[in-house]
Amino acid sequence: MTVRAVLVGVGSALPARRVTNAELAETVDT
């Protein structure tokens, strides 16, 4: 699955906001 790739892309696209791993997990609802 490319979920991790997507998360990395989102983090790179939003450098102004540092998103934690926990927030990413909640966003993807894993």
| Contact (CB, 8 A) for 2 and 23 | no
Length of the chain: 30
Domain map (residue ranges) of the chain? 1-30
pLDDT for 25 equals 75
Q: Which helix (H) or strand (E) is 29 found in, with range?
A: none
Location of structure tokens 């790179």: 12
pLDDT for 1-30, tens place per residue?
A: 577 766 666 656 555 556 677 777 777 665
* Residue partners of 24: CB distance under 8 A and separation at least 6: 7, 10, 11
